[in-house]
């Protein structure tokens, strides 16, 4: 009986350890996968004929995603904070202001993008507002946030 009890305790302990494992390396998009600071390095623009290509970005900016669902960004000079929601392969950024002036002129402060990533590259393809001819933005991870509980 004592042996069964010990074995049960070991199994429960093993299950608890497994459930606390780090999911950041999963191929599935999840909230902790994008934590940290990402810097724009490349942009993709297509004129609509399928000949677009990735080019070194101009006007480099960053996004920093925190564990509590907030972010900071240097993209817009008058609005640099907000909240984000990550659902499967879609990222929604809700800036903490009503209007994003430059360069997009977005009335509700909301950006939605299709997202792809690996441990060092983050790729965003705008959904709302959409790029008529096709565009995308590629970021490299520059700093892993260790205190993402802010």
Q: What pLDDT does 17 receive?
A: 32
Instruction: Judge whether 22 lies within some domain.
Output: no
Detail the DSSP E strand segments found in 46-120.
53-56, 62-65, 70-76, 79-87, 90-95, 110-117
39, β-bridge pairs: 62, 140
Element spanning 15, H or E: helix 2-19
Task: Report if residue 5 sits inside a domain.
Answer: no
**Structural domain for 89, as ranges:** 29-143
The angle formed by the CA atoms of residues 109, 115 and 117, to the nearest 5 degrees, is 135
CA-wise closest residue to 41 among 120, 140, 143? 140
Is residue 118 a part of any domain in this protein? yes
pLDDT at position 133 is 80
Is-contact 77 97, C-beta < 8 A? no
Total domains in the fold of the chain = 1
Closest CA to 136 of 118, 116, 119, 107: 116
pLDDT per residue, tens digit, the chain (150 aa), is 555 444 343 443 333 333 333 333 322 354 457 899 999 999 998 887 878 899 999 878 999 999 999 999 998 888 899 999 998 889 999 999 877 766 666 768 889 999 998 888 999 999 988 887 888 999 999 965 555 554
Is 16 part of a structural domain of the chain?
no
Distance CA 110, CA 98 (A): 9
CATH number at residue 88: 2.40.128.280
Would you call 4 exposed, middle or buried from its count of C-beta atoms within 10 A (0-12, 13-18, 19+)? exposed
Is the residue at 13 inside a domain?
A: no
């Amino acid at each position: 009986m004592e042996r069964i009890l010990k074995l049960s305790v070991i199994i429960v302990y093993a299950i608890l350890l497994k459930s606390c494992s780090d999911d950041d390396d999963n191929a599935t998009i999840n909230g902790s996968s994008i934590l940290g600071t990402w810097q724009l390095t490349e942009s993709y623009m297509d004129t609509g004929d399928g000949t677009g290509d990735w080019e070194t970005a101009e006007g480099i900016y960053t996004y920093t995603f925190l564990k509590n669902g907030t972010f900071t960004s240097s993209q817009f000079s008058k609005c640099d904070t907000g909240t984000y929601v990550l659902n499967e392969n879609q990222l929604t950024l809700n800036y903490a202001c009503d209007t994003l002036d430059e360069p997009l002129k977005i009335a509700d402060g909301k950006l939605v993008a299709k997202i792809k990533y690996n441990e060092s590259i983050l790729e965003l393809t705008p959904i709302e507002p959409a790029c008529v001819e096709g565009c995308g933005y590629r970021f490299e991870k520059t700093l892993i946030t260790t205190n993402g509980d802010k």
